[in-house]
Amino acid sequence: MYEDYQKILEELKTRSHFRNLKDFERKDEKFIYYKGKKLLNLSSNNYLNFADNKAITKEFLDTDGAQFSFGSASARLLTGTLPVYNELEELLANLYQKEGALLFNSGYHANVGISSALCPKGDVIFSDKLNHASIIDGMKLSDGKFFRFPHNDMTALENLLIRERENFKNAFIISESVFSMDGDIEDLKKLVELKIKYNCNLIIDEAHAFGVFGQKGLGVAEELGIINDVDLIVGTFGKAIGSMGAFAVGSRILIDFLINKSRSFIFSTALPPINIAFTKWIIENKLPQTLQKRKKMLEIAKNFGSPSHIIPVIIGENKDTVDLCKVLFHNGYFTLPIRPPTVPIGTSRLRLSLTCEIEEAELQILKEKINEKLLAK
């Protein structure tokens, strides 16, 4: 019965696409311990160093955390809503100056639940081609139609809108702000212009920007002053915030619609109260103190040629990329090769993600090793 699976797994191995879990020994802020070595972790979304941080965990437990339980034992719509959930939603709605907010168990839950709920038959979604798998899965689950436009290509999007918009009732444009694999930033101002011109709703996933961009850390929409123009903003807590979960903020009617129609929200046990309380505590007490560190991190990224803290180093072939990761490992860096099908064939790369305690000097040897590899090609 499992022969077909076996065959597929063998094929994956032949093409160097087989995925397996790694046994890390320990994580400690910006470092990760692996195969007996202490390595600078350049493959983590722990952008503000709030996760794997003993001092932060202790401070939270000492001041606030110990009163909260480790299980909610119920979905939000059953008995899963304690005051702390409402307080976090209220905090987010206030920060974004939106009418409502809704928590999801993860960014994956949020995106799957949002696209599938908001786009019934007769409606349409226009989605950036490089949008995250969770957005794609949400669109596949919806009964509406979806089109994918070439990455950050506003002319192609407009041509698509001219051709298709009038064939549908409600329309949505969905994009990430900071792209998870390329670290580049979508032209959100142009998206706002197009959404107005073609009467669409705009949904922006700020998973990698929430906690990093903007004066308050709310994301790229804050930085550009366009929060008001975005109908639904999605953010996640598992990256910069160092916690788990996600949120959407928007109008009361959209939030109420998601509460009633988003299956990933309705049919899943709520996150543990202690986790919700940690997220709220970080956003209220720690995030406001990070502005300088965030600026410094983005400055370092700029010196590597990236507009965000995610730096793609495109090597090309799988083997060259894997070999470079090995060299970097021996020099004290933890990096991961990103290969097809995650990225297009021939664009295998390192995806370096900075965290805010990393000093530029710590990246000197890394820079040299990367340059050596690129020159040798």
The SS3 assignment for 338 reads strand
Q: How far is the CB of 179 from ligand PLP (least distance, A)?
A: 7
Q: Measured from the CB of residue 289, what is the shortest distance to ligand PLP in angstroms?
A: 24
* CB nearer ligand PLP, residue 202 or residue 370: 202
Shortest reach from residue 132's CB to ligand PLP, in Å? 4
CA-to-CA dists, residue 260 to 31, 167, 194, 226, 265, angstroms: 42, 27, 29, 28, 9
In the complex, minimum distance from the CB of residue 114 to ligand PLP, in angstroms, rounded to a whole number? 11
Nearest approach, Cβ of residue 186 and ligand PLP (Å): 11
Please give the Cα distance from 326 to 22 (Å, whole number).
Answer: 15
| All residues at 6 or more sequence positions from 8 whose CB lies less than 8 Å from its CB, including other chains | none
Q: Which is nearer to ligand PLP, 174 or 255 (CB)?
A: 174
CA distance 275 to 65: 9
Structure tokens at 365: 């040897």
Q: Does 309 bind ligand PLP (CB under 6 A)?
A: no
Structure tokens that stand for 348 in this block: 């295998």
- One symbol per residue from 57 to 96: x for binding ligand PLP (CB under 6 A), - otherwise; what is it? ----------------------------------------
Only one residue has tokens 């000197």, namely 364
Q: At what angle do helices 154-164 and 188-197 cross, to 10 degrees?
A: 20
Amino acid residing at 250: G
> In terms of CB distance, is 108 or 126 closer to ligand PLP?
108
Q: Which residue is nearest to ligand PLP (CB)?
A: 107
DSSP one-letter string for 15-84: TT---------EEETTEEEETTEEEEE-S---TTS-TT-HHHHHHHHHHTGGGS-S---SBTTTT---HH
CB of 181 to ligand PLP, least distance (A): 8
Which residue in the set 43, 46, 49, 106 belongs to the binding site for ligand PLP (CB under 6 A)?
106
Among 76, 98, 132, 349, binds ligand PLP (CB under 6 A): 132
Partners of residue 148 on adjacent β-strands: 127
Q: State the nearest-atom distance from the C-beta of 111 to ligand PLP, in Å.
A: 6
Which of 47, 60, 96, 108 is close enough to bind ligand PLP by CB under 6 A? 108
Of 76 and 373, the one with the shorter C-beta distance to ligand PLP is: 76
Among 29, 89, 123, 205, binds ligand PLP (CB under 6 A): 205
For residue 125, the minimal CB distance to ligand PLP (Å) is: 15
Nearer to ligand PLP, 100 or 235 (CB): 235
| Number of CB atoms found within 10 A of residue 264's CB | 23
Which residue in this structure is represented by tokens 């160092």?
242
User: What is d(CA 249, CA 110) in angstroms, rounded to the nearest whole number?
Assistant: 11
Considering only residues 233 to 252 of the shown chain, the ones binding ligand PLP according to CB under 6 A are 236, 238, 246
With respect to ligand PLP, which residue has the nearer C-beta, 45 or 201?
A: 45
Residues between 144 and 203 that touch ligand PLP (CB under 6 A): 176, 180
With CB under 6 A as the rule, give the number of residues binding ligand PLP.
14
What's the order of all strands across the beta sheet hosting 246-250? 100-104, 246-250, 232-236, 201-205, 171-176, 124-128, 145-149
Which position among 46, 72, 134, 201 is part of the footprint of ligand PLP (CB under 6 A)?
A: 134
Residue 352 near residue 311, CB atoms below 8 Å: yes
Work out how close the CB of 367 gets to ligand PLP at its nearest, in angstroms, rounded to a whole number: 26
Site stretch for ligand PLP (CB under 6 A), options 61-69, 104-112, 150-158, 221-229: 104-112
Q: What gap in Å lies between CA 206 and CA 177, rounded to an integer? A: 5
Q: Could you give the string, one character per residue 209-238, with x where binding to ligand PLP holds by CB under 6 A and - elsewhere?
A: ---------------------------x-x
What is the crossing angle of helices 107-118 and 133-141, to 10°? 30
Q: Given the rule CB under 6 A, which residues bind ligand PLP? A: 106-108, 111, 132, 134, 176, 180, 205, 207-208, 236, 238, 246
